[in-house]
Structure 1
Amino acid sequence: MSDSWKPLEIDPASIGAEASAAGLVSYLRGAAGLDDLLVQEKALVFRGFNVAPGELDGVMDLLLPNRLAYVHGNSPRTKVGKNVYTSTEYPPEFTISMHNELSYASSWPSRLLFYCEKAATTGGATPVVDAALWLDSLDPEVRAAYADGVRYTQNLHDGLGLGKSWQDTFETDNRDEVESFLANAGATWQWRSDGTLRVSQVRPSTIAHPVTGAEVWFNQSDQWHVAALGDEIKALAQIMPEEDLPQSVSFADGTPIPGDYAIQVRDRGLENAVDVDWVEGDLLLIDNLLVGHGRRPFSGQRRILVAMSD
């Protein structure tokens, strides 16, 4: 496997199109085999088309014909349109490590589209990593340890507490709807006396791409692990049981994941990532199984929107 992979850049000159949203829409309407191209290249950057926020829906309708809601998402973000969201709203000084969207859930989007509404003053690239290369980069003992999958545990409060509420997570305040969703997802759950919902689910650590058959790293164990999180979460873990944190993770059988394993997963993903730098009006389309993504630290008022589809 080559370690020189990077997303394919498509600009007006490369396709003989006008440098505008209309030029991009015209290309997308006539482009046969775009799905195949995405699988082949894993990620596509549409650069130089100067897509304005008011023109975004027309482009998204062609790239993401069936936009999905961010239900059961664990990161803080704001819904800004028809199943369009802000990218994860973590403080700008933090790196967001590599991950495949909703890889901890029972269903996940097959593709993601990112749009740069406002570029950061400095930094703020979206790093992307070949998920098969990420898997290959891990030590054999780490890969073997993860072979049976991982168990994710969430504690979702009832409107006041640490992390996200269950109402925000599932975009409903109806408990029956939440239970139906979780039952269909194969999760177990418990409503606690303080209104908190505890959810537990076992998921695989790797997955085979349905078209290419490639085995890829596909879990978010490092992002759920105390060892790989910030100092505030580590401090919380000193004063409360790990299973009571907003989220935690173990191997599928409940055995703790060694902290150095989680850190290796996090660091190898970032080490093998390629940065996509942003110019306002640019878009990035990724195959969510073949490519993990994250965020570099930044200064200024960065605003990246994201949408997803099956």
Structure 2
Amino acid sequence: MTQTDIWAPLDIEAEGVGGPEELTARLRDMGPERLAQLLTEERGLVFRGFGVTPDHLDGVLDLLLPNRLAYVHGNSPRTKVGSNVYTSTEYPQEFTISMHNEMSYAHAWPARLAFYCQIQPGSGGATPVVDAALWLDSLDAEVRDAFAGGVRYVQNLHDGYGLGKSWQDTFETTSRQDVEAFLEPTGAQWEWKADGGLRVVSIRPATTRHPATGAEVWFNQADQWHPAGLGDDTAAALAQILPEDDLPQNVTFADGSPIPAEYVAQIRDRGLEHAVDVDWRTGDLLLIDNILLAHGRRPFTGERRVLVAMSD
């Protein structure tokens, strides 16, 4: 791919004075079928210059995401701030968040994500996005072949106190029965532990195909769930506290064999290498196809408040 061939999301900019009303009118004129077609063709759409405020956000999201989903079984730290609208992440701002497709570890995942910039960062803080088919193609054949059998995810969710997320926050309920009803059709195995925590084990494929285009894409979070993805110092510190299989989250190959750290580094680095940054200004929105595009986050300074919502 040459420099002139680099893909980027499609920018859709306000005309004239713009305003949120212009955006909602243009989305209504486009209609849901054309919006779906355009998103599949472009993979990502950036809406700039419309000055969307929090007061107008619900109306815009209703058009971009016809069926907003709750972040149930999500593993990232977030705060719910509206009707199935969440902070995009509360991961420390000095760190990069590597590329991933949202909830690719789960039995079902959102088809679309919409990000909204309420407060632009002082510096940095872009949302990088990468073509997930390109990401797959960029990996060495040895790595792709090793993952052909899929991956095994392990979650250890505490009962309100401990490392990582609690099962109550993860499943947005305090009812064990509700959790079991959610997990029953997913093919996961689970057990309630003596300390009140929950252990969930799921075997998932490492790739998937887009339902409309048929494109095969890299679609797992092995690099984010693997101890090597934490960095040497953090991984070493956790190893002093917990055995690897008791970490808040961990991943192996589907047969339980370990994933080499060098594979994890290659997956992480190639995803970031091929990513395109979407820089934020207050009021911007980014809509992505969650199968065709993976996303992450660059480090930043300042406040940076980006919200996210998702739909099937």
TM-score, normalised to structure 2, is 0.96
**1:163 and 1:91 mapped to 2: Cα distance?**
14
Q: SS of the residue aligned with 2:191?
A: strand
Q: Secondary structure at the match of 1:44?
A: strand
Unaligned runs of 5+ in 2: none
SS in 2 for 1:31: helix
Shift of 1:233: 3.7
* CA displacement, residues 187-236 of structure 1 (integer Å, 9 cap, x when unaligned): 00011111110000000100000000000000000000011114334311
Aligned to 1:39: 40
Per-residue deviation, 1:180? 1.2
Residue equivalent to 2:237: 235
Partner Cα separation in structure 1 for residue 229 and residue 285 of structure 2: 30
Q: Give the secondary structure class of the aligned counterpart of 2:190.
A: strand
Structure 2 counterpart of 1:227, one-letter code: A
Map residues 139-154 of structure 1 onto 2, 5 A cutoff. 139-154=140-155
Query: Counterparts of 1:173-212 in structure 2 under 5 Å?
Result: 173-212=174-213
The one-character-per-residue Cα deviations of 1:48-77 (angstroms, maximum 9, x if unpaired) are 101011110110000011000000000100
Match of 2:263 among 241, 251, 261: 261
Match in the other structure for 1:59:
60
- Other structure's SS at 1:24 match: helix
Distance 2:241 2:139 in 1: 32
Q: CA RMSD in A?
A: 1.1
CA contact 2:105–2:153 (8 Å) conserved in 1: yes
Secondary structure of 2:203's counterpart equals strand
Structure-to-structure mapping, 1:269-288, within 5 angstroms: 269-288=271-290
- Tell me the TM-score normalized by structure 1: 0.97
C-alpha contact (below 8 Å) 1:78/1:85 kept by paired residues: yes
Structure 1 match to 2:167: 166
The one-letter code of the counterpart of 1:135 is: L
* Secondary structure of 2:107's aligned partner: coil
Residue 292 of structure 2 is matched in structure 1 by 290
Moved more, 59-68 or 224-233: 224-233
Query: Whole-Å Cα distance in 2 between the matches of residues 124 and 233 of structure 1?
Result: 25
Sequence identity percentage:
69
My pick for the range that moved more, 225-234 or 35-44, is 225-234
1:134-193 Cα offsets, whole Å, 9 max, x none, are 000000000000001000000000001110000000000110111111111110001111
List gaps (5 residues or longer) in structure 1.
none
